[in-house]
Amino acid sequence: MPTGTILLYSGSASKLIVSDNQWLFCNGSEVSRSTYRALFVVIGTTYGAGNGVDTFNLPDLRARFPFGSANLADNSFASGGAASHTLTVAELPAHTHDQGSLQTQNTGAHSHSISDPGHNHGGTTGTSSMGGGGYRISGISGSGSDS
């Protein structure tokens, strides 16, 4: 793999073995120019000069998304962007929204009704007085006597 290659790693930092000095996290840290000479030759001070003598900075991809560049001369992650941003009206380009297929009509006064003949809670309520003979309670007929 070429020196300077950036790979996405989904594990935790404690699980990555970096003792062979071949892999570093893209966290913007300052590292030795002599220990990582091959990397320094490839990226130089693109991401920071470190102390200006013995160190240089790694790219900082924390809270950033790596993307490809169409212009190989301009592929720096060094500036721009933010982990989150809320757009303001001033940042929106001028634009319009056409009516599309929306149609409105003035139909005057009207009402809506719902008929639900499909269910019945059952039961009947009513009042009655008994005297002897027959009785009727809201659609329920019967006969009896006072005793």
Segment 91-125, tens digit of pLDDT: 888 887 766 665 566 667 766 666 666 666 666 55
Give CA–CA dist 63/83, Å, rounded: 5
User: Are 42 and 3 within 8 A, CB to CB?
Assistant: yes
| pLDDT for the residue 43 | 93
- Boundaries of every domain in the chain: 23-63
What's this model's pTM, rounded to 2 decimal places?
A: 0.49
Fold held by 23-63: 3.90.1340
pLDDT of residue 147: 44
pLDDT tens string 28-75: 999 999 999 999 999 999 999 999 999 999 999 888 777 766 665 555
pLDDT of 12 higher than 70: yes
Which tokens sit at 139? 């659609």
pLDDT score for 80:
60
Cα separation of 110 and 93, whole Å?
42
pLDDT at site 58? 95
